[in-house]
A and B are shown apart, each in its own frame.
Chain A
Amino acid sequence: MPGAETFTSSDPSHPLHRLTPAQIEEIGEAFQVIGDEVRTDLGEHDADYIRSLIQFHRRLGALSRIVLMASRYPPAWVLGTTGLSVAKILENMEIGHNILHGQWDWMNDPNIHSSTWDWDTASTSAAWKHSHNYLHHTYTNVVGKDKDVGYEIMRVDPKQRWEPRFLAQPVINVFLMLFFEWGVAVHDMDIEGIKAGTKDMKQLRRELKEFGQKAGRQILKDYIAFPALSGRKGFKRTLQANITANLIRNVWSNAIIFCGHFPDQAYTFTEEEAADESRGAWYIRQLLGAANIEGSDTFHLMSGNLSYQVEHHLFPDMPSSRYKEIAPQVKAICERYELPYNTGPFGQQWLMVQRTILRLAFPGGAPRPKAPPYVEPPAYETPGPVVSSSAGPIPAFP
């Protein structure tokens, strides 16, 4: 923890620069309280939510697969592909991602538990839990430590040193969108570590084997077994349907995830800024490093509530269905300590990310302006009823 004289950031425009250690502690306390309150309130209602969602996903998935057996008829193809895409997105985002975070471990249900869950994507859950839950969520947005800043293949922050290889990133970006699940799976294996020779070879061999098995099972299922169930005439159409569903899922999850940390408003941190940080400073880094996406309830569901990226980063193991309800409390803390609450509409956030990726393919680039401290928008006053008089409308009484 920094001493009373020093600040956690030397950059005067950085919110951490202005906060005193005492304030940082207070903020930490305040966040802790929000988390504890929800934790003690968890119960049957929450359990019902995740169970019915899992049930819905399984039914939708099974139904879509059945419809796709008739995929040579175009309406069945469209219906089945849509259903399958939605099912896969739900399974990856709201179900898999969140269960693997341990958000539902409190239920003590061995079938819905981070230590036993496996998901419908190329990453093995073990590798993903390490690279995502641990590396990314602990070192969020610390350039050099959080490998999710650019996923080791892109430059998304001016603090990352430019290298000629980044010239290719506009193209890489498109490939990553389309094949996101494979990108994530490979990323989990820690490419930089392999290149630098710091990765334990035995572990790498084990991970490669596990990845091979998982990938094999996924390919067999989507690209051989289910197409085969559609018969000789339907094989190709179902194959196309499954490829399409996986592509849609990839592009969607890529967009949501990129909007979580790479929009302009999100702060990144240097290793010094994050060194020896207190619990309070950890919370602040999570708050500043993430950005929300505004949208409807369905949108939040389909994004696995990662549209509440700020809340998710503050409380990675809180059931995602609770993020919406704590958002006002988080905003209140932001307002009290003049901190920004990063958010924006989907289109805007996504375009910002794309602009950054294009711009930073080339050398240079300055940090983009950050959001101002959060202020609660004034409540919109609904006018009371009026009566009309000869002088015009006057407010009704009483």
Chain B
Amino acid sequence: MHAARAITTPLVPDDYLGLMNPAWSARELTGTIERIKPETEQASTVVVRPNFPWPGHRPGQYLRIGAELNGIRHWRAYSLTSDPDHPDGLVSITVKHVEAGLMSPWFTRKVEPGATVFLGEVEGEFRLPDRLPDRSLFISAGSGVTPIWSMLRDLERRGGLDDALHVHCAREPDQVIFGADLRRMNSTYEGYTFHEHHTGKLPRIVPQNLDEICPDWRDRHTFMSGPRELMDVMEAHWKAEADRDLLFTERFQPIIGRGDADVGSGGTVSFRVTDVEATCDVGVSILVGGEQAGALLPFGCRLGICHTCVGRLHSGQVRDVRTGELHGEQGQTVRTCVNAPEGHVEIEL
């Protein structure tokens, strides 16, 4: 390989292998979409065959998945809904259609089998503990059910559905993703109760409802995944009334611009490489904030011209201080000299 490098420099041999057949290139982890399986009217499971041996994952974890839309590569994180050791080596995510979204309509409406996707790391701390809890409570809403579905399947396989209560919120019964399977589990297992809360008829669920649905909620290991508002109130309730350490949560939306009032809010930056934490006031660029916090960062013109200062966004969003435009998504590179964090931002610098 060293000898091959000598003649391909400054490229690597892989670049030429990829030229002959893109699948020979091992530089990037990619997958091929195998099929799309509709779950409800709004949600579909996207089945992907990774073009490399799948390293495995833990139920509840999520996958970073990228696709090229109109020439631009976008990345999103979705919970893995496939079994960790699928016999055919397939993996899947389950995507709910968001009308104003970018990636989700592509997955649910546009994409055809055979399309290539980019696969990032498997991440996430939201998973079942090694020692299964005796009693558990699962709270999910909408597409937040996906990681919990993976956990329940895991429990089912491991014979661990002894005393699990699952509260799920959806507008209508037919909008419950994996509804048929969850109802089947409900009737098969003594130890699993599937409690559906349909907000089409009932008011939204509030923490106080728990006393009724699950009187011993304080004593259970609770796993929760759903929209931000629901998780915020629940979390506050746990803090006030129970043991916060027994509550495990998955958050889907990145924590940005909480509420509408703080547009142009400034924020905090974690520099993942230099290992510095910085705070930026409104309109203070990531570069300046980082320097003030003592990070040694690359820069050139400081005007947004030269791109010397770019860093790859790991999470969060940034606001262009020149145009005021809010942008940035995971995996995108941003110029730190003209972008300020909006909420919390993690950057590979």
Contact = CB atoms under 8 A, between A and B. Distances in A.
A294 to B, nearest CB: 26
Contact of B10 (A65, A137, A217): A217
Nearest to A101: B307
A105 B307 contact: yes
A47 B68 contact: yes
B301 A137 contact: yes
Q: Which of A55, A226, A317 has the most CB of B within 10 A?
A: A317
Interface of B: 3, 6-7, 9-11, 15-16, 19, 27-28, 68, 70-75, 300-301, 303, 305-308, 310, 312, 331-333
Interface in A172-205: none
A106 B19 CA distance: 23
A282 to B, nearest CB: 8
Contacts of B16: 58, 62
A106 B72 contact: yes
A120 interface: yes
A130 interface: yes
Nearest to B7: A225
A133 B307 CA distance: 8
Contact of A44 (B9, B70, B305, B310): B70
A282 B11 CA distance: 36
A138 B331 contact: no
Nearest to A121: B10
Nearest to A55: B19
30 contacts: A44-B70, A44-B71, A47-B71, A58-B11, A62-B16, A102-B306, A108-B75, A108-B331, A108-B332, A111-B28, A114-B307, A114-B310, A129-B306, A130-B308, A133-B300, A133-B301, A133-B306, A133-B308, A134-B308, A135-B300, A137-B306, A217-B6, A217-B9, A218-B9, A220-B9, A226-B7, A229-B7, A282-B303, A317-B305, A317-B307
A109 B73 CA distance: 6
Contacts, number: 100
Interface size class of A (residues with CB under 8 A): 35 or more
A23 to B, nearest CB: 21
Q: Is the interface of A mostly helix, strand, loop or mixed?
A: helix
Which 6 residue pairs of A and B lie closest in terms of their CB atoms, listed nearest first? Answer: A134-B300, A47-B71, A102-B307, A118-B10, A108-B73, A133-B306
Nearest to B303: A138
A55 B20 CA distance: 10
Interface string A10-49: 0000000000000000000000000000000011111110
A107 B73 contact: yes
A59 interface: yes
B6 A225 contact: yes
A111 B25 CA distance: 12
Interface of A: 42-48, 55, 58-59, 62, 65, 101-102, 105-111, 113-115, 118-120, 129-130, 133-135, 137-138, 214, 217-218, 220-221, 225-226, 229, 282, 316-317
Contacts of A109: 68, 73
Contacts of B308: 129-130, 133-134
A134 B10 contact: no
A273 B23 CA distance: 55
Contact of B6 (A45, A59, A221): A221
Contacts of B15: 58
B293 to A, nearest CB: 22
Contact of A42 (B71, B312, B333): B71
Nearest to A46: B71
A316 B300 CA distance: 14
Q: Which of B305, B306, B308 has the most CB of A within 10 A?
A: B306
B74 A108 contact: yes
A159 B329 CA distance: 47
B334 to A, nearest CB: 9
B301 A138 contact: yes
Given A43-B71, A106-B72, A133-B306, 20 more contacts: A46-B71, A47-B68, A62-B19, A101-B307, A105-B307, A108-B74, A109-B73, A111-B28, A113-B333, A114-B310, A115-B310, A129-B307, A135-B300, A137-B301, A214-B10, A221-B9, A229-B7, A282-B303, A316-B305, A317-B307
A146 B331 CA distance: 34
A355 to B, nearest CB: 32
A218 B10 CA distance: 8
A48 B71 CA distance: 8
B306 A138 contact: yes
Contacts of A119: 10
Contacts of A130: 300, 308
A102 B6 contact: no
B117 to A, nearest CB: 14
B310 A102 contact: yes
A138 B305 contact: yes
Contacts of B312: 115
Contacts of A137: 301, 305-306
A316 B306 CA distance: 8
Contacts of B305: 133, 137-138, 316-317
B7 A105 contact: no
A113 B307 CA distance: 11
B228 to A, nearest CB: 26
A11 B35 CA distance: 69
A110 B9 CA distance: 18
A59 B71 contact: no
B336 to A, nearest CB: 12
A72 to B, nearest CB: 19
A220 B3 CA distance: 11
B148 to A, nearest CB: 31
A111 B14 CA distance: 12
Contacts of B11: 58, 118
A58 B11 CA distance: 10
Contacts of B332: 108
Contacts of A43: 70-72
Given A105-B333, A134-B308, A58 B19 contact: yes
